[in-house]
Amino acid sequence: MLADASPLSILLAAEEALFAREYQQHFNENDSKPARIGKPVFLPSHTSTWGVLLVHGLMAAPEEVREWADHLHEQGFTVYAPRMA
């Protein structure tokens, strides 16, 4: 199964697994936000080879740049907003 996977899908799966593991490890019921806020955002384009890397601020999270990501994706760009941990 892994032999059929693309390098991109392998990297994205590894990033999601790392996020899930770290979220579970550091989760604090009183302070932690929902997982969707910190999860990396990847929106692939099927029509363009251009991409945009959105980087959030130190105390922010990928979900906080989601509106920009969605807008740029609607314009045809591949968009990636990684988690800056």
* 70 pLDDT tier (thresholds 50, 70, 90): very high
Decide if 42 contacts 79 (C-beta within 8 A).
yes
3 state SS of 81:
strand
| 45 vs 84: CA distance, rounded Å | 23
- What's the structural domain count of the chain? 1
H and E: helices and strands count for the chain: 3, 3
**What's the pLDDT at 75?**
96
- pTM listed for this prediction: 0.80
Q: Can you give the residue range of the structural domain that contains 18?
A: 2-81
**What's the pLDDT at 3?**
66
DSSP string computed for 37-56: HHS-EEE--SS-S-EEE---
Q: What's CA 60's distance to the chain center, in Å?
A: 13
**What's the pLDDT at 35?**
84
pLDDT tens digits, 9-65:
999 999 999 989 988 998 888 888 888 888 999 999 999 999 999 999 988 999 999
